[in-house]
A and B are shown apart, each in its own frame.
Chain A
Amino acid sequence: MGKTLYDKVWDAHIVKQGEDGSSLLYIDRHIMHEVTSPQAFEGLKLAGRKVWRVSSIIATPDHNVPTTDRSSGIADEISALQVSTLLDNCETHGVPLFRLEDKRQGIVHVIGPEQGAVLPGMTAVCGDSHTSTLGAFGALAFGIGTSDVEHVMATQCMLMTKARNMLVRVDGSVPAGVTAKDIILHIIGVIGTAGGTGHTIEFSGSAIRNLSMEGRMTVCNMAIEAGARAGMIAVDETTIEYLKGRPYAPDGADWEIAVEAWKTLHSDADAVFDRVVDIDAAQIEPQVSWGTSPEMVVPVSGRVPDPADEADPARRAAIERALTYMGLDARTPIEQIAIDKVFIGSCTNSRIEDLRAAARVVDGRRVAATVKLAMVVPGSGLVKEQAEREGLDRIFKTAGFEWREPGCSMCLGMNNDRLAEGERCASTSNRNFEGRQGAGGRTHLVSPETAAAAAVTGHFIDARTLA
């Protein structure tokens, strides 16, 4: 029987197979940030343990950093302590670190790929659930808690039970103007927020193959929003082309050897999946979430659902609760929902391609007068630099957007970038949970294009109609 992509990467990293079905899995890459690592370093210290392989780690502050001018440091004392703790810990253990002033600093899931530090066939972990992003490279990448951050630092391994194999096949061509974000939001709407629990999802099909690496990262990023700890996409020329010449990618003779090995990183034709879901790409429209779970999505042309139409009492209650929280009436057309703020950024949609797409919509237009704040937060210093070289910053600033420094920002609102009570946001991030972007804040998940269109019109609208 053939192997899936997940089987191949998993099997190549088994240090020891337990009799009870658990495996000790070797971890190639560990990416680290300031929020989920301090207690892990403290644990190492208390136990008198050292880091197993320092060269496997890359660290950077991203979650709890200001995105406004930070040339004079971080004003918030508690945040400043968390960031300086990361710096101290990295210094003590010799862990490679991109400091706040370094242009390579940025969101962990943006900078890892950008540096070529996540390669096909690798196992990669990070104390952040959106580590699934990195599976776009044919790597097995997943988020871990702080105890496991400590465990991987001390042992270079994870003790795990293998997940089941799930295939989400998106065949056909998406209509023009439909993005990777729309594809993954649509998938989550179909399979549900627990649809991939206990599984590793491989995304395949012509609509996935036609995506750029940025688009593939957007899709894998939100595998966790469908419940799957890891999402993966097979390696092809697009993957290899993206990696060539990046700082951590192999070079010289190693490059040729690596590429040959990487070309085997796809599911065999006779591989068997525990579950297969087929999605028709042609049916996907630009998506907007209306509720407080990523599965609560509809096309931009649609309406907010009516709980009265839901037969299942638990689901009906969840819809009612979400509508109350979101301040929405049943059956409201999505395009009639006005917004207060716009956030373009996050590990889902802050890469150069995302900023280009948003800028194309914004170019020559102005942020609507009813919008209190529209902000663009590039995923890394390098993305920011590239965007400025292309003049994207000028397009955004001329239109009335704020152009910020890199970080996680309003995706989770650990810094000052937050929604106030009752504020409604068109956001390119990944979670619309209650309070996620600020206590009482109301999040609508959308693509960069849809967020940009909402910014310039003041309400949701199909960005394609602005062309």
Chain B
Amino acid sequence: MEKFTVMTGLVAPLARDNVDTDAIIPKQFLKSIHRTGFGQFCFDEWRFMDRGYLGIDPASRKPNPAFELNQARYHGASILLAGKNFGCGSSREHAPWALEQYGFRAVIAPSFADIFFNNCFKNGLLPIVLPADVVERLFAEVAAQGGYCLTVDLEKQQVLTPSGEALSFAVDPLRRHRLLEGLDDIGETLLEADAIAAFEKAHLAKSPWLNKQAAG
């Protein structure tokens, strides 16, 4: 996984609560058996007037001018500012894939849904929880200033505003460490392979039915 240390980027606002993963990446794109190619379909139903499908010619798409991310001032944004309970619904990891492949490296919101939040860390996309009133203020600042950028410093656990204000955020120490170092979760867990094997042996000996196989 790519390391995440410090990044500065243009902020795009999506001022809605309960943005679900169906909205982030609609069902028809889940037919893909690949991990890439989702960025062009991120927020597809909101972002385009026509209906997308796998294999559609990107040049043929009709952007929805009313959708926030389509405004010229937000082109090239790498930080998404969102409402509460962002990423609710389906566990599809295609959602963080789509956001990351669209160009986002961080999402800032007052709260996130649990599965989405967890999936983000596996893909170098940093979900940042800031208090609702702070997010509210950031929405106002983004609207008021063209080219509004924020700096995210994972090492210091801070978001830095253009005025120099440092907004602290909490992050699970283990997740922070792995993102900073770009470590592979599976590789790290397999360092405990002996402990897992020992646990498993005792666990299945105690409850042998856990490993029962059905006939046929």
Contact = CB atoms under 8 A, between A and B. Distances in A.
Interface in A225-271: 227, 229, 247-250, 254, 258, 261
A24 B189 contact: yes
B186 A47 contact: yes
A161 B31 CA distance: 31
Contact of B115 (A82, A117, A121, A145): A145
Contact of A147 (B23, B54, B111, B122): B122
Contacts of A261: 207
A318 interface: yes
A433 interface: yes
B214 interface: yes
Contact of B174 (A15, A20, A148): A20
B209 to A, nearest CB: 3
A236 to B, nearest CB: 19
A129 B113 CA distance: 11
B192 interface: yes
Nearest to A126: B91
Interface in B40-92: 45, 51, 54, 83-85, 88-92
Contacts of B186: 47, 49, 150-151, 154-155
A431 B89 contact: yes
Contacts of A321: 16
A435 B23 contact: yes
A129 B185 contact: no
Contacts of A36: 91-93
Contact of B93 (A121, A146, A154, A193): A146
B122 A431 contact: no
A197 interface: yes
B144 interface: no
A145 B33 contact: no
A56 B213 CA distance: 9
Interface residues of B, number: 61
A78 B190 CA distance: 34
Contacts of B26: 435, 439
Interface in B1-34: 16-18, 20, 22-23, 26-28, 30-34
A413 interface: yes
Contact of B122 (A42, A148, A198): A148
A258 B17 contact: no
Contacts of B174: 18, 20, 22, 159
Contacts of B195: 15-16, 24
Contacts of B111: 194, 197
Interface string A8-26: 0000010110101110101
A53 B213 CA distance: 12
Given A145-B119, A318-B17, A414 B215 contact: no
Contacts of B118: 144-145, 148
A115 interface: yes
Interface range on chain A: under 10, 10 to 19, 20 to 34, or 35 or more? Answer: 35 or more
Contacts of B113: 194, 197, 227
A145 B196 contact: no
B185 A145 contact: no
A78 B31 contact: yes
B209 A55 contact: no
B200 interface: yes
A422 interface: no
B213 A96 contact: yes
A26 to B, nearest CB: 6
Interface string B193-216: 101100110010001111111111
Contact of B20 (A116, A249, A433): A433
A439 to B, nearest CB: 5
A230 B142 CA distance: 36
A13 B120 CA distance: 25
Contact of B31 (A18, A29, A79, A314): A79
B15 to A, nearest CB: 8
B156 to A, nearest CB: 18
Contacts of A293: 18
Contacts of B31: 35, 64, 78-79, 82, 414
The 8 A-B residue pairs with the shortest CB-CB distance in the complex, in nearest-first order: A250-B209, A247-B214, A145-B93, A147-B122, A145-B119, A38-B33, A143-B91, A129-B91
Interface of B: 16-18, 20, 22-23, 26-28, 30-35, 45, 51, 54, 83-85, 88-94, 96, 111, 113-115, 118-119, 122-123, 172-174, 185-186, 189-190, 192-193, 195-196, 199-200, 203, 207-216
Given A22-B174, A26-B200, A156-B196, 18 more contacts: A15-B196, A20-B174, A35-B31, A36-B92, A38-B33, A49-B190, A116-B214, A119-B209, A129-B115, A144-B115, A155-B190, A157-B189, A194-B85, A197-B114, A247-B215, A250-B212, A412-B22, A414-B31
12 contacts: A15-B199, A24-B196, A78-B32, A128-B91, A143-B115, A145-B118, A151-B185, A159-B185, A248-B212, A318-B17, A414-B31, A435-B23
